[in-house]
Amino acid sequence: MTTDLIDLRAARAADCEALAGIHSEAWLGAYRGVLHGVDLQKMISRRGTGWWRGALARGVEIKILSIADTPAGYATYGPCRLHRTGMDGEIYELYLKPEYQGLGFGRTLFESVQDTLETRNLSGIAIQVLSENKPARAFYKAVGGRLAAKSWYRLGGRRLELSIYVWPATGG
């Protein structure tokens, strides 16, 4: 047990059930009405406890945010896969349970991952987000992201627009 209200740490195997729950709740909150119901359920069902165990076994970097010992959010991150952005680091996912959104916890998680990437000499960060996810786009702008490009993703026969935000290296 921790005496801190907020705990940020690397995810462990014991967190896999919580990660699956956070993913499910966050996706339902963010994408209900944006993605077709069947597509949304398929995406969520793929990310059960076993998927998270496999991700940890493959070395996926996952930082978990707990509030008063309750897992509330997570971020996955690593080297940038979006080569045309010029960024070295990427946050692949950053999600909070809906009840923890809008309270500053997302910023805390983002800044923690940003610091981790910088200590690994991965300067500059890129993030992709569905353009229809207006709350996420507003969040990334609020933490200093600059819209750098658009891309596309196919899901269930639909072409979905992605917005790519970047945070260039601070040069420190």
d(CA 159, CA 157): 7
Would 22 be classed as within a structural domain? yes
What is the distance of C-alpha 70 from the center of its chain?
18
172 located within any domain: no
Query: Residue 155: which domain range?
Result: 6-167
Residue 27 lies in a domain: yes
Instruction: Give the pLDDT of residue 1.
Output: 44
- Is residue 114, in this structure, part of any structural domain at all? yes
Do 65 and 84 contact (CB within 8 A), yes or no? no
The structure's pTM equals: 0.91
Identify whether the C-beta of residue 56 lies closer than 8 Å to the C-beta of residue 11: yes
Q: How many residues does the chain have?
A: 172
**Is residue 111 assigned to a domain?**
yes
Residue 87 and residue 124 in contact, taking contact as beta carbons nearer than 8 Å: yes
pLDDT means per 10 residues in the chain (172 residues)?
A: 78 97 93 83 91 97 96 97 94 97 96 96 95 94 97 84 93 54
Overall number of domains in the chain: 1
Check residue 3 and give its pLDDT.
Answer: 53
